[in-house]
């Protein structure tokens, strides 16, 4: 523990700066007029120490994989063709989140907890075990569909929050099962349930805009799970996720009888600065983070935003970047990555905002002799292993290797960003990440660009945005380009009046379409970058109380 605290202290000192501060929302009662001279005003009413809130969500997801390449089609009926090796997916699920907080009066101490329950009402497939790899619920033949278990398509029941804390002035300490919000470990509210963590967190905010955060999280509960575990999205087999890659071998372990590789969690240290509200100049925000994920990666991350508030359209510019490398036992292999990103935005009108972003991750190459049991296929440039680990963090759906026939040396291509708690979730902070995927989800280096146009109605009840993104994962082995466009509209019904059980009702519809090129290799009869066309539709109803 001493080593862990020492590492955390060092990380805080090494971090850059700033995150937005928390604003106080206390309201004081106006004193009543008194008939007696010099009478004291009535005391401020004591706030209710018990608070209760939650939400109900219902989703319907559909995913379509499409390909016109020969050899992968299944003719179900005349004129109809389906992919024989990529069954389309669909899921419906509905869930409720209940949350209680109790603040002990005049002590600073508080406790809280939350319970989440979801059930898709689909018979035997509501049971999580029946959705494991090879089980009947996920082993169907076109034109039938498999469940979309990113939602997931099975029942969940969990106490995802149970914590105690203490607040004194600018200091807040919280320990237990909780939902946290940091760039590379976040709630991921894009599905039915949030990601949750188990551990301790301490924050401190100064009036001059400086703020500090230190946390030690031991266990993780993914959005498609009902238990906390000592693992990550890179070292387990999460429902609907990418999970542990095949080049990392775990003895006596398959997707159905183990959780993967055990790791004891992560530390995060942060130093931040945000322009204080009393400053009438241009708002400026800077953040610096250190994430140390045990036996996987050390990540140094920074971001900043500057708004030109004196300009009529209030344009702004943002920077992001960082570097990371493997650490400890390096259970997912060698990691060496560095990212730089730029985003700029402007309020075209009071209703329309436009942003444009760019990110880059350089490729890295090593010359190695592959261990016995590992081979490189020079037809599709992919590494395969049998009962052996090849300890590199390899890109997904991009060129990985080429073996020189005369020397036997293999060129290994790597350098993607490892993200243990957002991998394949498409919820990371990279500017160009889209609804379906981003660079961290592909674990691949390259360059990416994205443009976004957002419309907000005058009453702020209707919000619609459209995005278009380009991803270039090409290297010296093969060209690989991906594009994606997303449409997202949400309508919020009447606003919350400040009292009563109703806090909001929202309808939301999202559509995403991803297209890829140079994905099929006839000589190897395999795919490199997934199917050329992928469509996603998400329909959401949410009631907050």
CA angle, 95 then 97 then 99, to 5°: 170
CB 495 within 8 A of CB 502: no
| Separation CA 58–CA 379 (nearest Å) | 45
What pLDDT does residue 32 have?
33
What pLDDT does residue 155 have?
97
What pLDDT does residue 16 have?
33
CA angle, 453 then 457 then 460, to 5°: 110
Contacts for 227 with CB less than 8 Å, ≥ 6 apart: 158, 221
Q: Are strands 266-274 and 284-293 parallel, antiparallel or unpaired?
A: antiparallel
C-alpha dihedral, 360 to 365 to 370 to 373, nearest 10°: 10
Instruction: Enumerate residue ranges in the chain where pLDDT < 70.
Output: 1-46, 67-86, 142, 254-257, 519-527, 529-530
What pLDDT does residue 497 have?
80
**Which helix (DSSP H) or strand (DSSP E) does residue 174 occupy?**
strand 171-178
Which is it for the CA torsion 327, 332, 334, 336, positive or negative? negative
Residues in the chain: 545
| Separation CA 124–CA 434 (nearest Å) | 33
Structure tokens at 482: 């991906």
What pLDDT does residue 86 have?
66
| Separation CA 541–CA 506 (nearest Å) | 6
Per the omega criterion (within 30 degrees of 0), is the bond before 152 cis? yes
- With CA atoms as reference, report the closest residue to 343 among 417, 448, 462: 448
What pLDDT does residue 33 have?
33
Q: Are strands 89-103 and 50-66 parallel, antiparallel or unpaired?
A: antiparallel
Give the helix ranges, DSSP H, for 395-445: 439-442
pTM (predicted TM-score): 0.87
What pLDDT does residue 141 have?
73
What pLDDT does residue 140 have?
78
Structure tokens at 536: 């996603």
Residue by residue, what is the 3-state secondary structure of 8-58? HHHHHHHCCCCCCCCCCCCCCCCCCCCCCCCCCCCCCCCCCCEEEEEEEEE
């Amino acid at each position: 523990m001493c080593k862990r605290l020492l590492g955390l202290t060092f990380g805080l000192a090494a971090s850059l700066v700033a995150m937005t501060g928390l604003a106080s929302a206390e309201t004081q009662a106006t004193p009543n007029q008194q008939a007696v001279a010099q009478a004291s005003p009535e005391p401020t009413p004591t706030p209710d120490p018990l608070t209760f809130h939650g939400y109900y969500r219902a989703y319907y997801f559909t995913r379509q994989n499409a390909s016109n390449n020969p050899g992968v089609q299944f003719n179900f009926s005349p004129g109809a063709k389906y992919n024989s090796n990529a069954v389309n997916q669909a899921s419906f699920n509905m869930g409720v989140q209940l949350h209680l907080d109790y603040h002990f009066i005049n002590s600073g101490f508080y406790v809280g907890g939350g319970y989440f329950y979801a059930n898709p009402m689909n018979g035997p497939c509501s049971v999580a075990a029946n959705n494991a790899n090879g089980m009947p619920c996920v082993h169907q033949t076109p034109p039938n569909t498999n469940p979309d278990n990113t939602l997931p398509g099975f029942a969940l029941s969990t106490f995802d929050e149970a914590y105690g804390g203490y607040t004194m002035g600018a200091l807040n300490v919280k320990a237990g099962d909780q939902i946290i919000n940091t760039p590379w470990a976040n709630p991921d509210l894009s599905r039915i349930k949030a990601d949750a963590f188990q551990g301790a967190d301490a924050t401190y905010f100064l009036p001059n805009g400086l703020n500090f955060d230190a946390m030690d999280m031991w266990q993780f509960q993914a959005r498609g799970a009902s238990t906390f575990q000592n693992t990550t999205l890179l070292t387990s087999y999460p429902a609907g996720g990418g999970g542990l890659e095949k080049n990392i071998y775990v003895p006596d372990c398959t997707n159905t009888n183990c959780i993967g590789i055990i790791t004891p969690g992560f530390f995060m240290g942060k130093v931040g600065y945000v322009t204080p509200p009393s400053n009438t100049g241009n708002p400026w925000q800077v953040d610096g983070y250190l994430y140390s994920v045990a036996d996987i990666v050390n990540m140094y991350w920074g971001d900043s935003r500057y708004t030109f508030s004196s300009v009529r359209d209030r344009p702004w510019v943002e920077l992001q970047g960082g570097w990371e490398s493997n650490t400890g036992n390096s259970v997912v292999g060698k990691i060496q990555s560095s990212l730089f990103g730029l985003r700029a935005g402007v309020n075209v009108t009071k209703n329309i905002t436009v942003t444009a972003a760019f990110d880059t991750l350089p490729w890295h190459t090593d010359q190695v002799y592959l261990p016995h049991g590992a081979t490189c296929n020079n037809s599709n440039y992919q590494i395969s292993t049998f009962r052996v680990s090849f300890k590199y963090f390899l890109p997904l759906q991009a060129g990985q290797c080429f073996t020189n026939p005369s020397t036997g040396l293999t060129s290994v291509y790597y350098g993607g960003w490892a993200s243990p708690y957002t991998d394949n979730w498409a919820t990371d902070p990279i500017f160009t990440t889209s609804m379906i995927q981003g660079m961290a989800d592909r674990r691949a280096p390259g360059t990416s660009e994205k443009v976004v146009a957002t419309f907000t109605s005058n009453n702020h009840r209707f919000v619609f945005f459209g995005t278009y993104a380009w991803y270039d994962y090409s290297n010296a082995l093969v060209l690989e380009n991906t594009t994606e466009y997303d449409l997202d509209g949400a309508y919020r019904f009447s606003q919350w009046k400040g009292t009563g059980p109703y806090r909001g009702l929202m309808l939301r519809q999202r559509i995403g379409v991803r297209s890829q090129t140079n994905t099929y290799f006839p000589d190897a009869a395999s795919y490199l970058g997934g199917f050329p066309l992928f469509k996603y539709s998400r329909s959401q109803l949410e009631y907050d109380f």
